Structure formats: structure tokens, C-alpha cells
Amino acid sequence: MYAFTFHRPQTVRQAAGLLTKNGDAKLLAGGQTLLPTMKLRLAGPPQIIDMTLIEGMSGIEQSGRTLTIGAMTTHNEVNTSPVVQQAAPVLAKLAGMIGDPAVRHRGTIGGSIANNDPNADYPAACLGLGATIVTNKRRIKADEFFTGMFSTVLEPAEIITKVIFPLPKKAAYQKFRNQASRFALVGVFVSKRGSEIRVAVTGAGSNGVFRVKSFEEALKKRFSPKSLEGMTIPADGMNSDIHGSAEYRAHLVGVLARRAVAEAIGKPAA
């Protein structure tokens, strides 16, 4: 690790002010990506702005058919929250599949979304549920938020404060892990809310999380794994590396989508 100046603002406004003043500063929300890269000296931000003293940044609240999760809420809190388990069990389960217990007790939803790791789970949940990401400046729809690998529409001094999830009627997340890192080699999130069907894929795409419109259209006719039978997506644009070819990833998107739909409607996976 390189030396850095450690800031501990008390308010979001102070944090944003520090970000404006220090162009190279990094927010520390949970640090589960940032700190390992700093330890390896792959990153050396001169300023670290710790978010933990800012009040009101974490917590879970249900209001009607929406669930609001504070940006600093840890994966473990989401995983074990009775509110989430009741209102959106898919989210509780997804949070429990992130990393290991140490990661889940430190990593936060805001940190994960802002980082937009192409293999992370939360971006799939946001896109797969049509979440709204709330920042200190505006409200952003998930469909507009994620712009590519490790990139989002967040502006330099913009800070995520909470994420609002509309509650689905049916939803499931299927994650096929990279054997080494345990991140999603491919993860597919499906949801049905009224007539809105969403299929979001993480891990597979070389440009980060994406929706599969062809699958969504097929599922609109009937929300059943049978609707996706034989369907696949092109290997173009899929990641290809030592862990799996583009063809394998494209194939897994179909397999996991069918399994996710089966899980969502309460049928055992084929």
C-alpha cells in the first residue's frame, strides 16, 4: 500500500466536497475491491474518503411495493434482513452468494454498484429488477446507470446514497461461479413484475451487465423455462478467457436463464 490521506466526513455534502477538491480521491464504502488493489499497489489513491461516519447511509426499508436499501448497507445485512427475506427473497439470497463471510460483512451495495465489476452480482439485481439508483444529485434508472466494464454514469463528485428496488412478483438469480475467484462466470437474474419481464446477465459480457431482450420477449408470452427452450445468445461480445470461451458463456446464459425462470416459478431446475 502507498501512503494516503484518510478523510472521515460526517455528511454526504462534506464527502462530495472532498471529492470535488481532490480529483484522485477514492470513496471507501466497503473496500472489498479497493483495498486489495491498494495492497497490491495496483492502485494508489492519494486521498481516501471513508463513508462510515456518515449517518443515514445504511438501512433497509419497505414501503408498499418498493424496497429501499441504503448505499452503505452490507451484503450481510441484506442477506439476513427479515424485511428483505420477506419482500424480495431473491435479493437476500443473492447477497448471501457474494464473496465470503468477511467480504459480506464489509462490502456494501453502493460500493458494488459504483464499482460495476463485470462479474459482480448486484448490477444484475439492479438491472434485473429495474432498480433506481439515488445519488446526492439525482435518481438514475438502472438501465441508464451501467455503461460498461467498471464504468457507470456517475459523475466525479456524485455519491450513491440508496438503491430503490421495485418488488417483483417472481424473480430468481442463478449464479455459475468462476472456480478460482468465486465471482459469477455467468449470472442470470430474471424477474416478472406485472407485464414487465427482465433478464439481466452478469459475468458473461465483455462490456459488463446487460439485458437479453430476446429472452424477455419470449418470456412475455409465457413465463416458463419452456419458452426459452433451445434459445441462446450470440457468442459475439461475450468474454473469453482461461475460465471459459465466449461460446461456453453464451451457452450458459441460456442454461441459467431457464434455471432461473424455473426457480422463479417454483419448479425445480431442469
Partner 1 sequence: MSGTGIGAAVRRKEDQRFITGKGHYTDDINRPGQAFAYFIRSPHAHATIKSIDAKAASAMPGVVAVLTGAELATDKIGNLICGWMIHSKDGSPMKMAAHPALASGKACHVGDPIAVVIAETLPQARDAAEKVKVDYAALPAVADPAAAQKSGAPQIHDIAPNNTIYQWHLGDAKAVDAAFKSAKHVTKLDIVNNRLVPNAIEPRAAIGDYDSGAGTFTLWNTTQNPHVARLVIAAFVGMAPEHKLRVIAPDVGGGFGSKIFIYPEEVVALWASRRVGRPVKWVAERSEAFLADAHGRDHVTHAEMAFDADGKITGLRAKTVANLGAYMSTFSSSVPTYLYATLLSGQYEIPHIYCEVDAVYTNTVPVDAYRGAGRPEATFVVERLVEVGAREMGQDPAELRRKNFIKNFPHQTPVIMTYDAGDYNASLKKAMELADYKSFAKRKRESARHGKLRGIGLSTYIEACGIAPSQAVGSLGCGVGLWESAEVRVNPTGSVEILTGTHAHGQGHETTFAQVVSERLGIPIENVLVVHGDTDKVQFGMGTYGSRSGAVGMSALVKALDKVEAKAKKVAAHLLEAAEGDIEFKDGKFSVAGTDKSAAWGDVSLNAYIAHKFSGAELEPGLKEGAFYDPTNFTFPAGCHICEVEVDTETGNTEIVAWTAVDDFGVVVNPMIVEGQVHGGIAQGVGQALCEGAIYDKDGQLVTGSFMDYAMPRANHLPTLTVDTTMTKCPSNPLGIKGCGEAGAIAAPAAVINAITDAIGTENLAMPATPATVWAALQKTGMPRAA
The footprint of partner 1 (CB under 8 A) covers 1-2, 40-41, 176, 178-181, 242-245, 248, 251-252, 255, 270
Q: How far apart are CA 141 and CA 143, in angstroms?
A: 5
Q: Taking the complex as a whole, how short is the minimal distance between the CB of residue 5 and partner 1, in angstroms?
A: 16
Other CB atoms within a 10 A radius of the CB of residue 3 amount to: 6
Q: Smaller CB distance to partner 1: residue 44 or 56? A: 44
Q: Which residues contact 240 (CB under 8 A, 6 or more apart)?
A: 246, 249
Q: Taking the complex as a whole, how short is the minimal distance between the CB of residue 255 and partner 1, in angstroms?
A: 5
264 half-sphere exposure, CB direction, 13 A CA radius? 30
Q: Taking the complex as a whole, how short is the minimal distance between the CB of residue 238 and partner 1, in angstroms?
A: 12
Q: Smaller CB distance to partner 1: residue 179 or 195? A: 179
Q: Taking the complex as a whole, how short is the minimal distance between the CB of residue 269 and partner 1, in angstroms?
A: 9
Q: Taking the complex as a whole, how short is the minimal distance between the CB of residue 258 and partner 1, in angstroms?
A: 9
Q: Smaller CB distance to partner 1: residue 106 or 243? A: 243
Q: How far apart are CA 269 and CA 230, in angstroms?
A: 15
Element (H, E) at 219: helix 213-221
Task: Tell me the CA end-to-end span of the chain in Å, nearest whole number.
Answer: 48
Q: Smaller CB distance to partner 1: residue 26 or 259? A: 259
Q: How far apart are CA 68 and CA 163, in angstroms?
A: 6
Q: Taking the complex as a whole, how short is the minimal distance between the CB of residue 44 and partner 1, in angstroms?
A: 10
Instruction: Report DSSP letters for 185-208, one per residue.
Output: EEEEEEEEETTEEEEEEESSBTTS
Q: Smaller CB distance to partner 1: residue 53 or 102? A: 102
Q: Smaller CB distance to partner 1: residue 111 or 244? A: 244
Q: Smaller CB distance to partner 1: residue 41 or 221? A: 41
Q: Taking the complex as a whole, how short is the minimal distance between the CB of residue 85 and partner 1, in angstroms?
A: 23
Cell of 160: 450513491
Cell of 253: 446464459
Cell of 80: 439476513
Cell of 41: 499497489
Other CB atoms within a 10 A radius of the CB of residue 176 amount to: 19
